A and B are shown apart, each in its own frame.
Chain A
Amino acid sequence: MTLSFEDLQKGFANRLAQLASTSDGARALSMFKHSGLLVQRSIEAKGRGSALKELLGWELPDQPLDSDHIGIWRRPKNSVDFMRDIDKRQEWNYWANTPRIDGKAKRGKKRIIFLGESVARGYCYDPQFTPAKVLEVMLRSQFGPDGIEVVDLAQLGIGFQVGELALSALALEPDAAIIFSGNNWRPDQVGSMDISCADSALRQQSIPALKKLFERNLSEKTSLLIQTVGSAYEKKQIPMLWVIPEFNLRDWRDPISNAPYLPADSNSKWSFCWERAVICLQEGNISEAEELARSMIELDGGVSSAGFYLLADCNMHQKNDKASRNYLEAARDANIWSGSMCNLSPRPFSISQQIMREKAVTFEKSGILDLPRFFEEYLNGDLPDRRLFLDYCHMTSEAIQVSMAAVASHITSVITGTNLPWSNFLDQDAKPNRGVEAEAMFLAAVHNAHNCQNYELIHHYCSTALKLAPELSEVMVKFAEVQARGISVFLSTSGEELIEMPWPSVQRHLFGQHEPQLDQKLTGAITASLRTIGIDISMSLNKIRKEARSISIRPTNLLESYYISSADQPQETQWTVPGTSPYRQQDYYRAFSNKSRFFFIGDALCPTSLVLTFRLPNSLSGIIEIRVNEEYQHQIPGDCEWKTWDILLDPSAIGEGVNELTIHWPTPTYPTSAALHLAADAIQQGMPPQLYCSFGDIHSFIAEYQPGV
């Protein structure tokens, strides 16, 4: 039999495929690639692409002055003015509600462009009260009503794309530009970093080394952004002001997570210190708590926030605000490397803040407004907290006013040369009315609840909202009803009633983004605050819940995001969030701490059973414990094979309404070396690495009513 050339070639390809299908073969290929010896042909051909494109995702326009696109606005042919682009309709809501922007400012009018992210949009106040509008009112006190305009180009969630926007906005011929951004400046995913270094860091069991890669990446991106935008504006001799964002240091807490894999048996030591330190702090034994927290940081090399939070708490206890600030900043920055794994909220990292401070002022025409320092002064040295912030980074109207006054002072100075203190710009006209403020407070309560913040903080925003505007209670009641029923808001009668209520910010921010959630803590805070003004909704809410979702109506999937979102365990629940598939590691529940929380709706004393399919990680066998509403129910043996258990609960432990189930996992063995090798393999293959130790896996978990029992 004679083989054709084609057959011979096919045989070769098949043999290579067989080799590449072995794990060593695949790894060797991958390492070859990441060594740079096998450069991908297309990249080589294109000359490795520009650094801008690779790092920031955009390129320098050829003619920025002639740009016909600025964000959602487009300049039609033969027109000087920009109109909102109908093709970008889906994005309109992320921007100011401005149908049209004049191509040029009117004669004699100064034009300030205002760029930034959700903080600069005035999240929770927009559209009724926005930083850009406040700034315009303030500036008009100096320039006259027709002497100046502020063009609001802030966009929700904009990251490093703000640079591209700033360049295209040169087409508006501004007299000055403000960029209030940085909360969404994040490092890349680990897959886009130097894989050879990431691989080595993991194989040498050093997450701190991995963290450095992320820090380097963020610092490169930030520098490049400021350099690119700064020099473009410098060239046109247009003054710029970079506003360095601040973070809600005192009130915001990232949901606490364990340390990632640490070398040797450091994980067990770390956990011991953590548990002990928490107890010491509660007992007022500050010095021991401090010592334990320091040991934690020494063990984890600063890649976990827990030790820093403890040190901050110890120092706050001793009223040492300066030290607390340092630790709270360190806690905020600690998880920079695990952003996508821990679902980290937006924030300004110290690295970006510092680069802005250093780099922006190297341009003659650029300046900075350093909000961390400015707010510290404003608060007489206090830590930033709920007075200035609605959540992690979005500002209260008070913070918006004072920061915009500082911006106004700076802009006046660069345009007119007159130096006026910022307090001169505080203006009564630039305050939101009572209702708008109340809405923002309620929205803040929702936002904090959905980001795992503590009950006290959520309750604070709810009750502040009601104090400002008791009539907002109608919104809160209906909202609680919608969540209790758990039907998408536009479909239900309660939702319809809610939307017809005349609360514009609520309409803008509350709908369309959230899937219904049980919202156990939030509805609790709403119920408690309403009670103080004489409204009791606990009975009616419970009735709705039972009618819609009781296990006596149909079995409850305890892993459904409606219920599990109330657990405040974002690392555990991320797999249920739609749209995160590229970073999905496993399609089942994985516990990352020794306790997992679940919820269901029941009737008091109702006979209830569970069907649980679980396993323990790393060839561990051990006993898990199940509790309902803190009451012990069962101990069940488990090992590394999936097993399904039928579990009857003690009916006397079942309460009316929301019931909490907990699973307590045995301590794992922390197979750091093997796990980090696997993580390195995953990175090689473009998959998300698993860097936290699993305590247990649940594939399915159902609660059902057992009438016969």
Chain B
Amino acid sequence: MNDSQRRDVHYKPLSPPPARLKKSKTLNIIGISAGYHDAACCLIRDGVLISAAQEERFSRVKNDKSLPRRALRYCLEDGAIAIGDIDCIAYYENPTLKLGRQIWMGMQPNISDRRIDMIAGRMMSPTPQATIRSSFGYDGPIEIFEHHASHAASSFYLSGFEEAAILTVDGVGDWATTTYGFGKNAQIERFEQVDFPHSLGFFYSAITAYLGFEVNEGEYKVMGLAPYGKPLYANKLRSLIDVWPEGQYRLNMDYFAFLTQETMFSEKLCELMDHPARVPESQLDQFHMDVAKSAQLVLEQVLLEKVSYLHSRVPSENLCMAGGVALNVVANSRCLREGPFKRLFVQPAAGDAGGAVGAAAMAYVQIAGKRLEKNPLQHVYLGPRNLPSDIERLLNASNAAFLNFSGKESELIQYAIDRVQEGKVIAWSQGRMEFGPRSLGARSILADPRDPEMRDRINALVKMREAFRPFAPVVLESQAHKHFDLDHPSPFMLETCTVISDLALPAITHVDGSARVQTVNHSTNRRLSLLLEEFDRRTGCPILLNTSLNMRGDPIACTLYDVLMCFVQSQIDILVVEDFVIERAGIPTLWSLEALKYQAAKAKPGESISHSIYTLL
């Protein structure tokens, strides 16, 4: 106490103040996915999914696959429980099965030396269970579930369906790459699976790599590029997949190299296509668009066939999907439109991050004997929030010029819509962060979708994305049907539909007239709904352009600090963070130095995942 002045008080209480043991009375299950890509952690408390977040949002390493230690701490804090209050940790894949698959890869002829070393290393590394124990200090029960069982559970248990057919499709987890099953009440069963190396996910990723995009990241780009092309190569690409009876299919491994090398496709694919692979960042021409269209078509065709097969075995009206391929919203929508099922539920974190939720849900079912409460999933605002008092304190201690709208929500809405009408681009950070890969209005960039210049403008200001990709709209749920060919809510931006609006919406409409819609209502995102209502009242347009709040290559912003740094590094016009507004001109000059420091502090490569190939190991 060198520089604090302690008052000398001689008062002593009559009895010493008490210390008491504190024990949680709830059933607390932690779900974890890690080690592959998109590590995540979630907490299911008494059957309710109350917190979930990906590790990348905290570590700031895109697709961080390391054990989600920060995300775990967040879940414990959010649930107001301690490490000793965890009743079970559920892990999302079976490490022994996965090791079996890796060893089998090591037994292939012509395998690279590097691969051999990596596989040998894997055999001697500590298991995820051991790492969870040593790293978290956790000594309670750990339940292991298979990778695709976690995918299936993550979808069905949150779907709200009493019974449904379940299809999971991804690159690979442990052994399976595609599974067929059904769910009924608390029970899930799988009756068929396709095993590695045959994988629809890897088929699509190989084409992604061939088109010069990053694997496990650029698949969206292929999907976005497809509408510009013609399916001229569909027959050729279809020959890469041998579709077998029932749920089975086989990849023609002559065209794929991922089994033995550090690339996805083989030279033979280039021969087949009569073109070399596209060099990343080089010119995109019609050929590439036609290949994208062809690959998308082949994926859709195979999926449709398999969805029909699934329906023949499970004649339900409901379909649940999960796994990375279920993030292909164009294919999903087509399966729903043209397939035999009436309703489709896709888990919003359909990739491996969502596996954490699936595993935890299965553990809950095992322990409690029943399904999750609050089903179907209402929203994915399951991440951390920024407290207005913290924001105010930081801004007050800085030289930033800011506006304080505390207690004046309608004025804040008026202000924001004034700016949107002036053509300004707004960084919008409100409430709890989204779980899953999409920004859904909690850490978003918003703008006027009617402005024909807006797509280029946002790309220039912050996103630097390929010009061919449109942005997505967010629309008031009550008005959605007037502007989009959509007869049900789409709260998670997991479907595409045709734009039928009388308004011209160039910034969010794809070249084929489609859009990837998110609908919002007052109960799930009140402030964003208010914003849309005001925009609608003034302009007759209940729609805003919505894209994620991050710099290119960065994870979506999470904390106030991330939000500020993204705002500083970009050229976005206005930041609205909770009740506070900073305009571009109000940013102190030195904040750009902080942004440099922020960039430099980013974790070193090595913790992040490779994008030249799916991280198979």
Contact at B21–A644, with CB atoms within 8 Å? yes
Segment touching A, from B122-130, B361-369, B491-499, B541-549: B122-130
Q: How far is the CA of A652 from the CA of B10 in the complex (A)?
A: 8
Contact at B389–A21, with CB atoms within 8 Å? no
Q: How far is the CA of A455 from the CA of B1 in the complex (A)?
A: 12
Q: How far is the CA of A554 from the CA of B11 in the complex (A)?
A: 27
Is there a chain A Cβ closer than 8 Å to B84's Cβ?
A: yes
CB within 8 Å for A613 and B21 given contacts A578-B601, A660-B1: no
Which of B77, B85, B103 contacts A16, CB < 8 Å? B103
Contact at A581–B66, with CB atoms within 8 Å? yes
Segment touching A, from B94-102, B279-287, B313-321, B521-529: B94-102
CB within 8 Å for A699 and B137 given contacts A495-B590, A629-B1: yes
Q: How far is the CA of A20 from the CA of B97 in the complex (A)?
A: 11
Segment touching A, from B28-36, B215-223, B391-399, B420-428: B391-399
Which of A42, A496, A585, A615 contacts B399, CB < 8 Å? A496
Q: Taking each of B6, B139, B591, which has the highest tally of chain A beta carbons within 10 Å of its own beta carbon? A: B6
Is there a chain A Cβ closer than 8 Å to B16's Cβ?
A: yes
Contact at B83–A642, with CB atoms within 8 Å? yes
**Contact string against A for B residues 583-612, beta-carbon threshold 8 Å, 1 for contact and 0 otherwise:** 000001011011011001101100100000
Is there a chain B Cβ closer than 8 Å to A204's Cβ?
A: no
Segment touching A, from B111-119, B184-192, B349-357, B370-378: B111-119
Q: How far is the CA of A697 from the CA of B593 in the complex (A)?
A: 38
Contact at A528–B603, with CB atoms within 8 Å? no
Contact at B103–A613, with CB atoms within 8 Å? no
Is there a chain B Cβ closer than 8 Å to A521's Cβ?
A: yes
Which of A523, A579, A656 contacts B6, CB < 8 Å? A656
Which of A644, A655, A656, A659 contacts B85, CB < 8 Å? A644
Segment touching B, from A7-15, A314-322, A327-335: A7-15
Contact at A646–B17, with CB atoms within 8 Å? no
Is there a chain A Cβ closer than 8 Å to B110's Cβ?
A: no
Q: Taking each of A38, A553, A604, A633, which has the highest tally of chain B beta carbons within 10 Å of its own beta carbon? A: A604
Which of A38, A41, A646 contacts B20, CB < 8 Å? A646
Which of B20, B69, B96 contacts A587, CB < 8 Å? B69
Contact at A656–B4, with CB atoms within 8 Å? yes
Point out the residues of chain B lying under 8 angstroms from A13, CB to CB. Answer: 100-101, 103-104, 106-107
Interface residues of B in 56-100 (CB under 8 A from A): 66, 69, 72-73, 76-77, 82-85, 95-97, 99-100
Is there a chain B Cβ closer than 8 Å to A684's Cβ?
A: yes
Nearest chain B residue, comparing its CB with the CB of A20: B123
Segment touching B, from A26-34, A151-159, A267-275, A440-448: A26-34
Contact at A14–B97, with CB atoms within 8 Å? yes
Is there a chain B Cβ closer than 8 Å to A533's Cβ?
A: no
Is there a chain A Cβ closer than 8 Å to B537's Cβ?
A: no
Q: Taking each of B23, B117, B123, B601, which has the highest tally of chain A beta carbons within 10 Å of its own beta carbon? A: B123
Contact at A652–B12, with CB atoms within 8 Å? yes
Q: How far is the CA of A697 from the CA of B600 in the complex (A)?
A: 32
Is there a chain A Cβ closer than 8 Å to B2's Cβ?
A: yes
Contact at B124–A528, with CB atoms within 8 Å? no
Is there a chain B Cβ closer than 8 Å to A362's Cβ?
A: no
Is there a chain B Cβ closer than 8 Å to A493's Cβ?
A: yes
Contact at A605–B9, with CB atoms within 8 Å? yes
Q: How far is the CA of A483 from the CA of B2 in the complex (A)?
A: 15
Point out the residues of chain A lying under 8 angstroms from B564, CB to CB. Answer: 491
Is there a chain A Cβ closer than 8 Å to B404's Cβ?
A: no
Contact at B597–A512, with CB atoms within 8 Å? yes
Point out the residues of chain A lying under 8 angstroms from B477, CB to CB. Answer: none
Contact at A579–B603, with CB atoms within 8 Å? yes
Which of B6, B16, B97 contacts A650, CB < 8 Å? B16
- Number of residue pairs spanning A and B whose beta carbons lie under 8 angstroms apart: 235
CB within 8 Å for A634 and B16 given contacts A490-B591, A613-B82, A641-B139: yes
Q: Taking each of A20, A649, A660, which has the highest tally of chain B beta carbons within 10 Å of its own beta carbon? A: A20
Interface residues of A in 624-678 (CB under 8 A from B): 629, 633-634, 636, 641-650, 652, 655-660
Which of A496, A641, A643 contacts B590, CB < 8 Å? A496
Is there a chain A Cβ closer than 8 Å to B539's Cβ?
A: no
Is there a chain B Cβ closer than 8 Å to A363's Cβ?
A: no
Is there a chain A Cβ closer than 8 Å to B252's Cβ?
A: no
Contact at B195–A581, with CB atoms within 8 Å? no
CB within 8 Å for A613 and B117 given contacts A490-B590, A604-B7, A629-B1: no
Contact at A487–B394, with CB atoms within 8 Å? yes
Point out the residues of chain B lying under 8 angstroms from A487, CB to CB. Answer: 394, 397-398
Is there a chain B Cβ closer than 8 Å to A527's Cβ?
A: yes
Q: How far is the CA of A585 from the CA of B130 in the complex (A)?
A: 12
Q: How far is the CA of A537 from the CA of B537 in the complex (A)?
A: 55
Q: How far is the CA of A45 from the CA of B114 in the complex (A)?
A: 11
Point out the residues of chain A lying under 8 angstroms from B594, CB to CB. Answer: 488, 490-491
Number of interface residues of A (CB under 8 A): 91
Q: Taking each of B83, B139, B600, which has the highest tally of chain A beta carbons within 10 Å of its own beta carbon? A: B83
Point out the residues of chain B lying under 8 angstroms from A542, CB to CB. Answer: 3-5
Is there a chain A Cβ closer than 8 Å to B136's Cβ?
A: yes
Is there a chain B Cβ closer than 8 Å to A40's Cβ?
A: yes
Is there a chain A Cβ closer than 8 Å to B245's Cβ?
A: no
CB within 8 Å for A17 and B4 given contacts A33-B120, A496-B590: no
Which of A16, A686, A709 contacts B125, CB < 8 Å? A686
Q: How far is the CA of A604 from the CA of B1 in the complex (A)?
A: 12
Contact at A643–B84, with CB atoms within 8 Å? yes
Which of A547, A647, A657, A699 contacts B5, CB < 8 Å? A657
Q: How far is the CA of A462 from the CA of B603 in the complex (A)?
A: 34
Q: How far is the CA of A553 from the CA of B100 in the complex (A)?
A: 53
Q: Taking each of A485, A490, A499, A636, which has the highest tally of chain B beta carbons within 10 Å of its own beta carbon? A: A490
Is there a chain A Cβ closer than 8 Å to B19's Cβ?
A: yes
Q: How far is the CA of A45 from the CA of B113 in the complex (A)?
A: 9
**Contact string against B for A residues 576-620, beta-carbon threshold 8 Å, 1 for contact and 0 otherwise:** 001101001111100000000000000011000001010100000
CB within 8 Å for A493 and B397 given contacts A40-B120, A584-B135, A656-B4: yes
Q: How far is the CA of A305 from the CA of B279 in the complex (A)?
A: 57
Contact at A527–B114, with CB atoms within 8 Å? no
Q: Taking each of B1, B13, B561, which has the highest tally of chain A beta carbons within 10 Å of its own beta carbon? A: B1
Is there a chain A Cβ closer than 8 Å to B407's Cβ?
A: no
Taking the closest CB of chain A, its distance from the CB of B145, in whole angstroms, is 16
Point out the residues of chain A lying under 8 angstroms from B2, CB to CB. Answer: 455, 520-521, 523-525, 527-528, 658
Point out the residues of chain B lying under 8 angstroms from A697, CB to CB. Answer: 137
Q: How far is the CA of A657 from the CA of B387 in the complex (A)?
A: 24
Point out the residues of chain B lying under 8 angstroms from A585, CB to CB. Answer: 134
Point out the residues of chain B lying under 8 angstroms from A469, CB to CB. Answer: none
Contact at A90–B600, with CB atoms within 8 Å? yes
Is there a chain B Cβ closer than 8 Å to A464's Cβ?
A: no
Taking the closest CB of chain A, its distance from the CB of B80, in whole angstroms, is 10
Which of B4, B20, B398, B591 contacts A645, CB < 8 Å? B20
Is there a chain A Cβ closer than 8 Å to B18's Cβ?
A: yes
Is there a chain B Cβ closer than 8 Å to A244's Cβ?
A: no
Point out the residues of chain B lying under 8 angstroms from A649, CB to CB. Answer: 17
Contact at B593–A645, with CB atoms within 8 Å? no
Nearest chain A residue, comparing its CB with the CB of B394: A487
Which of A26, A491, A524, A604 contacts B123, CB < 8 Å? A26
Is there a chain A Cβ closer than 8 Å to B25's Cβ?
A: no
CB within 8 Å for A605 and B7 given contacts A648-B18, A648-B19: yes
Point out the residues of chain A lying under 8 angstroms from B13, CB to CB. Answer: 650, 652
Contact at B3–A42, with CB atoms within 8 Å? no
29 A-B pairs within 8 Å (CB atoms) are namely: A10-B100, A13-B107, A17-B97, A17-B100, A20-B123, A21-B96, A40-B113, A490-B597, A491-B397, A493-B397, A493-B398, A525-B2, A542-B3, A542-B4, A553-B389, A604-B7, A613-B84, A629-B1, A629-B6, A634-B16, A634-B19, A645-B20, A652-B10, A652-B13, A655-B7, A658-B2, A659-B4, A660-B1, A687-B126
Contacts A21-B95, A528-B2, A660-B1 known; list 5 others, CB within 8 Å.
Answer: A12-B104, A18-B100, A41-B113, A613-B82, A655-B7
Q: Top 5 closest A-B pairs, CB basis?
A: A657-B4, A524-B2, A642-B84, A655-B6, A42-B113
